[in-house]
Structure 1
Amino acid sequence: MSSVERVRLTYAFDAYCGWCYGFEPALHEFAAANADRIELRVLSGGLFTGPRALPVSAYPHIPGANERIAQLTGVTFGDGYRAALADGTVVMDSADAATGLVALRSQPGASALDAAAALQRAWYVDGRSLSDPEVYRELATELGLDADATAAAFASPAARAEAESDFFEVRRLGVDSYPTLVLHTAHGTDRLGGPVSSADALTRALEQYLAAATAA
């Protein structure tokens, strides 16, 4: 492998996935530490779509899962989110959230990873519905992006179609759980780390791959 060739990675996540929220700090640290040697794309997996797009109260296992996520990753769930859980009426619609990610990442100067993290903060910290168009205006402003253009993109059929394309690509890669970090190799794909991997562990796994690729 030449020194200028970047390793291609795909991060398959869902904005309404608590384990993805727990994994995000480590992934962000890993991506920053290895920015010169990786090319990372972020795709939505579509965890809560169709008949699974239901009020959060329809998933009674979530509070217990959150406790485990917090214990294993150290993330904090915000008061706004806890209030939304207690209320129970917010519908978790991953198609809307995925469309929002498309709307944000398509803006000039946008970082898809930063956009994904902002989506998860909006839900897991503030308890905001990711179906609310106003959320994307606010996130765009927070990320230094054009709020009007982002809102227009969120409402567009093209962004919805691209979100559906994300779902298809994630399935094509064989991913059925989130978060999953996929390493693209000359021979196919491998998984890199797992939901509770630290940034250092992810970097070690990447270096093992690079060493093996160089040896080959």
Structure 2
Amino acid sequence: MNKTLVYLYDPLCGWCYGAGGPLPQVLESTGIALRLIPTGLFSGSGARAMDDDFAAYAWSNDQRIERLTGQVFSERYRDQILADRLQGFDSAPSTLALSAVSLTSPEHEFEALKAIQAARYVDGLDVTRLETLTAVLEDLGLDAAAQRLTCPDSGLLQANDDRVGQGRALLRRVGGRGVPTFVLQQADSAMQLLPASAIFSDPQAFIRELNVGVNP
């Protein structure tokens, strides 16, 4: 099957975490390959400080995602992440960690993304710290990626910049609005933007949409 589901994401996007619930079922049901590309949406100019208003907005949004998908947003996350005014809302470190995985064990990037999200939203760990992210990767047995992340070299930094640039360019190309954005890539390089909302409201409809796209 010469078709791929391209997943444009940001590791600190609550909706991306929510998509991690139904997405494995989608992949298993369709047999389609997954390719992840970060967009850096909440890094650089998209990063921000955590304040009371933003924390309240995030928690309200998180509860909606939990109701739709069953993905857990714990009280520990609320107390140790959203209530911490010294911890910024910045996905750059997590994105760099996932680029390290992409370089060393690309087949484990989705697994690593889910582990980083669980570390934040369930365990209440600070994934803006490289030490936290290194430990997450080591727990997954991704030692090569953890080692690259401990002392990021120019190769890793350039690969990370390239991936984010590619993600942003593709988001513009397909007219995606934020993340998660899902794109069905055909063998002839044709790109089909998929309705991301369906993966939350009706995963079976999302599966049917993919099956239509993957039929010869």
Structure 2 length-normalised TM: 0.84
Deviations 1:98-135 (A, max 9, x none): 10111123334741111111111111112222232222
Calculate the aligned-residue CA RMSD, in Å: 2.1
Q: CA deviation at 1:20?
A: 0.7
Instruction: Please point out which of 92, 95, 107 is paired with 1:95.
Output: 92
Deviations 1:168-191 (A, max 9, x none): 112221234111111113363112
Match of 1:52 in 2: 46
Separation of aligned partners in 2, 1:188 and 1:109: 23
Residues 177 and 109 of structure 1, relative CA distance in 2, 3 Å threshold:
closer
- Letter in structure 1 aligned against 2:99: V
1:13/1:178 contact within 8 Å kept: yes
Match of 1:144 in 2: 141
Unpaired segments of 5 or more residues in structure 1?
A: none
Residues 127 and 55 of structure 1, relative CA distance in 2, 3 Å threshold:
farther
Instruction: Please point out which of 175, 182, 193 is paired with 1:191.
Output: 193
Q: CA deviation at 1:87?
A: 2.3
Residues 9 and 162 of structure 1, relative CA distance in 2, 3 Å threshold:
same
2:63/2:73 contact within 8 Å kept: no
Q: Please tell me whether residue 209 in structure 1 is matched to residue 206 in structure 2.
A: no
Deviations 1:62-96 (A, max 9, x none): 11211221222222102331111122332122222
Match of 1:16 in 2: 12
2:21/2:70 contact within 8 Å kept: no
Separation of aligned partners in 1, 2:28 and 2:125: 27
1:94-133 equivalent positions in 2, closer than 5 A: 94-108=91-105, 110-133=107-130
- Letter in structure 2 aligned against 1:206: L
Q: SS in structure 2 opposite 1:55?
A: coil
Structure 1 length-normalised TM: 0.84
Unpaired segments of 5 or more residues in structure 2?
A: none
Match of 1:157 in 2: 154
Q: Please tell me whether residue 28 in structure 1 is matched to residue 24 in structure 2.
A: yes
Match of 1:76 in 2: 72
Residues 163 and 197 of structure 1, relative CA distance in 2, 3 Å threshold:
farther
